[in-house]
């Protein structure tokens, strides 16, 4: 497993022989491609899914000078949004929050308790103007009147709002008559998607580590560590595995992982213990490692 530019000349010679043989037996249109580890990871991590979101009212943003992004600002009924974020068994669909920089923080945050109290109160009809709303990023949006078919979508901002709505409505389906603002953004440009994720997360303060957790290298580390026989769970999103009751001795966060790297790979155990935050910042800014 490596990069295509590092392929040994002997392997390249074998490719030539294979193509010559295929040409000899009449398969002249044959092609031979090498796939490296990055491409394999991209293929294995693809999740194709879609869902319909129905809005009460919407406004389109489609700028001619920007072909990489288009979107809509919508007002969505709260019960419709509950159906959108849940599966058939009333369980929340956790995969649609994968790109959110922070997992649900539970009742420890005052802002979350405030959201829940508003939903349970007589003032919930003002929820749309009292809450920052939700931002959804999708690879494709297909609008039809008041409905939107979203492909490969992620809720990138509004995780706390979404989980709060789910926790309140799953216990009391009689709560109705509230709306929220939902921004829907379409882009297939990964760099722009990361910029949108960074820019939209401000309701609860987010540190740089959480923002960087959405980069490919951290997702690759997470998948690699938990794929082995003796799995380790890289908690790139704060409290993600702890909240799901994974064994604490199997969970490692980014700071601890960077300490291990500095101790073993760089052979500097003393500084890894004394200045973990400094080294973590260096790695996140890609000053110490040639990260992809």
Tell me the average confidence (pLDDT) per consecutive run of 10 residues in the chain, 292 residues long.
Answer: 70 87 80 74 65 95 78 96 93 88 71 89 93 93 94 91 94 93 92 80 59 74 84 84 85 83 77 66 55 44
CB atoms under 10 Å from CB of 152, counted, come to 15
* pTM for this entry: 0.65
What pLDDT score was predicted for residue 1? Answer: 53
- CA–CA separation, 183 and 196 (whole Å): 12
Residue 89 is classified by DSSP as T
What pLDDT score was predicted for residue 46? Answer: 53
What pLDDT score was predicted for residue 292? Answer: 43
50 strand-pairing partners: 151
What pLDDT score was predicted for residue 219? Answer: 79
Residue 100 is classified by DSSP as S
Q: Tell me the backbone φ, ψ of residue 289, rounded to 5 degrees.
A: -125, 150
């Amino acid at each position: 497993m490596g990069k295509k530019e590092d392929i040994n000349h002997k392997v390249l010679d074998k490719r030539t022989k294979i193509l010559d043989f295929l040409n000899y037996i009449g398969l002249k249109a044959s092609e031979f491609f090498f796939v490296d580890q990055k491409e394999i990871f991209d293929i294995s991590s693809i999740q194709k899914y879609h869902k319909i979101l129905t809005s009460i009212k919407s406004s389109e943003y489609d700028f001619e000078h920007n072909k990489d992004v288009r979107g809509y600002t919508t007002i969505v009924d709260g019960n419709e949004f509950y159906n959108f974020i849940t599966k058939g068994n009333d369980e929340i669909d956790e995969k649609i929050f994968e790109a959110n920089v922070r997992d649900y923080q539970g009742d420890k945050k005052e802002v979350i308790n405030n959201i829940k109290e508003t939903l349970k109160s007589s003032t919930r009809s003002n929820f749309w103007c009292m809450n920052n709303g939700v931002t959804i990023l999708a690879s494709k949006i297909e609008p039809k009147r008041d409905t939107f078919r979203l492909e490969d979508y992620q809720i990138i901002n509004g995780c706390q709002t979404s989980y709060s709505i789910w926790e309140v409505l799953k216990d009391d389906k009689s709560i109705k008559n509230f709306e929220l603002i939902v921004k829907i953004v379409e882009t297939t440009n990964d760099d722009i998607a990361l910029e949108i994720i960074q820019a939209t997360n401000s309701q609860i303060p987010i540190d740089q580590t959480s923002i960087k957790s959405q980069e490919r290298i951290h997702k690759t580390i997470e998948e690699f560590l938990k794929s082995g026989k003796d799995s380790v769970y890289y908690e790139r999103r704060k409290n993600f595995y702890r909240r799901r009751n994974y064994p604490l001795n199997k969970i490692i966060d980014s700071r601890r992982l960077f300490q291990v790297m500095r101790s073993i790979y760089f052979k500097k155990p003393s500084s890894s213990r004394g200045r973990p935050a400094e080294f973590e910042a260096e790695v996140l800014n890609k000053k110490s490692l040639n990260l992809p």
